[in-house]
Amino acid sequence: MLIQLTDQPIDVAAVLQAVQADGAGAVNAFIGTIRNRSTGRRVVRLHYEAYDQMAVHQLRKVAEQAVERWPMLQEVAIVHRKGTLEIGDVAVAVAVSTPHRAESFAACQYIIDTLKEVVPIWKKEEYEDGTVWVAAHP
């Protein structure tokens, strides 16, 4: 299991390598990247902040919950970036390996969806004329 929070660029090939398993017939990955528009505004860059210790703990819990739900999971890797990211940068990479493809899609989606709900990481979007903490206000 690879669980990491990093301020360095994410090496997607290394994340895929981390889920290599002889019992796997499927590897499924989700790569989250920085988009240039948000709610109609042009985004210049993004700033990610994390509560490091809790974020790593919660990332590990999400991975463990996925293994409980899909016991056939061979390997799980979750790497999340923090710091300042530019358009096109990889913010998060999730990869799983399973014997067959159906469970790989389901487990990968479960991990990224749950991560977005529970892991204490925050992003601030920077526009040409200001900044906003994403999702902070109703």
Partner 1 sequence: MKLTIALFGITREIVGSPQLELTVPAGQSVQELLAELHQSFPALGQLRSLAVAVNNEYAQPGTQLQERDEIALIPPVSGG
Structure tokens at 20: 């290599």
- How far is the C-alpha of 22 from the C-alpha of 106, rounded, in Å? 20
Quick one: 57 or 101, whose CB is closer to partner 1? 57
Structure tokens at 63: 């991975």
Quick one: 54 or 102, whose CB is closer to partner 1? 54
The three-state DSSP-derived secondary structure of 64-102 is: HHHHHHCCCCCEEEEEEECEEEECCCEEEEEEEEECCHH
Name, in order, each residue with C-beta under 8 angstroms of 46's C-beta and a sequence gap of 6 or more. 34, 84, 85, 91, 123, 124, 125, 126
Quick one: 45 or 72, whose CB is closer to partner 1? 45
Q: How far is the CB of 67 from partner 1 (least distance, A)?
A: 19
Q: How far is the CB of 133 from partner 1 (least distance, A)?
A: 4
Pairing outcome for strands 75-81 and 2-6: parallel
Q: How far is the CB of 99 from partner 1 (least distance, A)?
A: 27
Q: How far is the CB of 121 from partner 1 (least distance, A)?
A: 3
Quick one: 1 or 72, whose CB is closer to partner 1? 1
Binding site for partner 1 (CB under 8 A): 32, 48-51, 53-55, 57-58, 80, 91-92, 112, 115-124, 133-138
